[in-house]
């Protein structure tokens, strides 16, 4: 069986903590590998390698740094198929979905090729008598990312690429559930010309996370995961003087106006609600039809589509979605469906008893559809993270708008309508960070920033786009005057530009 250790100082090394855990293959429930769980000493080893390598990397001019990113893109495309299969086997998503995971990460790498422009400061000549003022962006030093299981390529790349482009060294702590793709990406960065030690990968659990949060030489931490953990990481990181951007849970609504194209809407809900078995922070988990007739038409069209969803192993290119990531995740999602029935929601499609022939030990679940879900129910208020869609009916547009506005989470939201006035009003008034208009999963393209509001995000800056370069750099402002032979004498008041 494969033993997965860590990637430190440019090499794969075995774990020394004596602790490890199984890496599963969700489609058949088998154990693929054992992954080492890092101790504090191993995390510190990675930090020391990063500290040693970072100054020379920061001194490398930005254009040369991005040449490494360009070469990395070439190498990933060389291994695209192998990476996608590896990702699918450890996560459970289908291979086409795994390819999308990789591609969305590469799009951020592509944007980071513009780092020489993004790193430019400002200059003002003659700001005062013989005085020029200019600013510069400089790397923070050693930074870290703690990334989730559901996007083992995309989210590490969202964090690694801008951090490296800015001249930082990076410590990655990926999910211990599917660590193989992050490890391989680190090797490809090295092959692309990244100096050894600039990028290190430590696999682990809470002990490794706490070591990252407490280490005084790590200057910033990025995280994606559940809201309770996001709160924990944000508070502990900032208490130790670090910058932190932490992204948490979601409950994404899709509002369906009476004039919406119902075929387009149902297609959107099927893909956005059930794709990747619902294990996406931007999955649509709540459909909100406005008016009884709209709700009835929605159910009529949606019901047979959910019943006919094709669930299959990760290697089945024709499957709509594959298994959940672990047996624990499967049981958790099933327990939420049980809870919804107890709470009085109407379960129209029940996927709890789904079994995949030939893969009976896999972590499979069919699509579930609830109707008549009420805002007081836990299945509405809590993130389920599985193939479960809830219909919450609203009598009016204003009632529909209140639902995402008053919800704890504020990650993503969408409205489907043909009415431009309604769409414009919704986009302006909804209290959510990312909004789609006839787009079900409003993940911004890579040169805009990604980030939710309310309990979905902690920190002042978002992921990728301009905010990534702001997060991974500090601004230094220089005010300069060269001696001209004029003696002004001492001044005892605050300098002004009069």
Rounded Cα distance, 376 and 369, in Å: 18
pTM score of the predicted model:
0.95
Quote the pLDDT of residue 485. Answer: 60
Quote the pLDDT of residue 498. Answer: 62
- Reported in sequence order, the residue ranges of 300-386 that DSSP labels E, i.e. its strands, are 346-349, 368-371
Look up the CATH architecture of domain 252-437: 3-Layer(aba) Sandwich (3.40)
2-248+456-478 against 252-437: fold identical: no
Enter the DSSP assignment of 218: E
pLDDT at 495 over 90: no
- Is residue 75 within 8 A of residue 162, CB to CB? The reply is no
Question: What residues does each domain of the chain span?
Answer: 2-248+456-478, 252-437
**Catalytic residue, candidates 112, 166, 246, 281:** 281
CB environment 116-141: b (16+ within 10 A), e (fewer): eebbeeeeeeeeeeeeebeeebebbb
- Convert the pLDDT of each residue in 33-90 to its tens digit: 999 999 999 999 999 999 999 999 999 999 999 999 999 999 999 999 999 999 999 9
pLDDT at 497 over 70: no
Mean pLDDT of 402-429: 98
246 is a catalytic site residue: no
What is the arrangement of strands in the sheet containing 142-146, beginning at the earlier edge strand? Answer: 11-13, 6-8, 199-201, 169-173, 142-146, 218-224, 243-247, 457-458
- Convert the pLDDT of each residue in 356-388 to its tens digit: 999 999 999 999 999 999 999 999 999 999 999
Quote the pLDDT of residue 114. Answer: 96
pLDDT at 490 over 90: no
pLDDT at 489 over 90: no
pLDDT at 24 over 70: yes
Name the CATH topology of 2-248+456-478: Aldehyde Dehydrogenase; Chain A, domain 1 (3.40.605)
For 208, other C-beta atoms within 10 Å of its C-beta total: 25
Confidence of residue 321 (pLDDT cuts 50, 70, 90): very high
- Convert the pLDDT of each residue in 268-294 to its tens digit: 999 999 999 999 999 999 999 999 999
Rounded Cα distance, 333 and 323, in Å: 12
């Amino acid at each position: 069986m494969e033993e997965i250790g860590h990637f430190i100082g440019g090499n794969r090394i075995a774990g020394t903590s004596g602790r490890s855990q199984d890496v599963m293959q969700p489609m058949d429930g088998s154990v693929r590998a054992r992954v080492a769980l890092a101790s504090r000493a191993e995390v510190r080893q990675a930090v020391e390698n990063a500290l040693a390598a970072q100054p020379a990397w920061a001194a490398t001019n930005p254009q040369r740094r991005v040449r490494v990113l360009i070469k990395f893109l070439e190498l990933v495309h060389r291994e695209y198929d192998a990476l996608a299969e590896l990702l699918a086997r450890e996560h459970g998503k289908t291979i086409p979905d795994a390819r999308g995971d990789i591609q969305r990460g590469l799009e951020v790498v592509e944007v980071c090729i513009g780092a020489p422009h993004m790193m430019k400061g400002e200059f003002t000549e003659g700001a005062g008598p013989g005085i020029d003022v200019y600013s510069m962006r400089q790397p923070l030093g050693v930074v870290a990312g703690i990334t989730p299981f559901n996007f083992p390529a995309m989210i590490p790349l969202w964090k690694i690429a801008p951090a490296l482009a800015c001249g930082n060294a990076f410590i990655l702590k990926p999910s211990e559930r599917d660590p193989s793709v992050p490890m391989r990406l680190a090797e490809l960065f090295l092959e692309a010309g990244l100096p050894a030690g600039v990028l290190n990968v430590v696999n682990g659990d809470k002990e490794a996370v706490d070591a990252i949060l407490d280490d005084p030489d790590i200057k910033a931490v990025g995280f994606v995961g559940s809201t309770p953990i996001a709160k924990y990481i944000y508070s502990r990181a900032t208490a130790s003087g670090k910058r932190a951007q932490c992204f948490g849970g979601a409950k994404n609504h899709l509002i369906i106006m009476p004039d919406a194209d119902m075929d387009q809407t149902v297609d959107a809900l099927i893909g956005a609600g059930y794709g990747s078995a619902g294990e996406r922070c931007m999955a649509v988990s709540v459909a909100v039809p406005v008016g009884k007739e709209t709700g009835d038409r929605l159910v009529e069209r949606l019901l047979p589509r959910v019943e006919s969803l094709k669930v299959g192993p990760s290697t089945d290119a024709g499957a709509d979605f594959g298994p959940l990531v672990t047996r624990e995740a499967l049981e958790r999602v099933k327990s939420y469906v049980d809870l919804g029935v107890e709470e009085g929601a109407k379960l129209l499609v029940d996927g709890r008893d789904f079994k995949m022939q030939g893969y009976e030990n896999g972590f499979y679940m069919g699509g579930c559809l609830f109707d008549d879900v009420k805002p007081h129910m836990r299945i509405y208020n809590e993130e389920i993270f599985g193939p479960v869609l809830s219909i919450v009916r609203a009598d009016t547009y204003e009632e529909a708008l209140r639902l995402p506005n008053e919800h704890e989470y504020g990650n993503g939201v969408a409205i489907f309508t043909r009415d431009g006035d309604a769409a414009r009003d919704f986009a302006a008034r909804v209290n959510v960070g990312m909004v789609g208009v006839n787009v079900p999963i409003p993940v911004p393209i890579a040169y805009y920033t990604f980030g939710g509001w309310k309990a979905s995000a902690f920190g002042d800056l978002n992921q990728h786009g301009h905010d990534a370069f702001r997060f991974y750099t500090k601004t230094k402002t220089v005010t300069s005057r060269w001696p001209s032979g004029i003696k002004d004498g001492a001044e005892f008041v605050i300098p002004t530009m009069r």
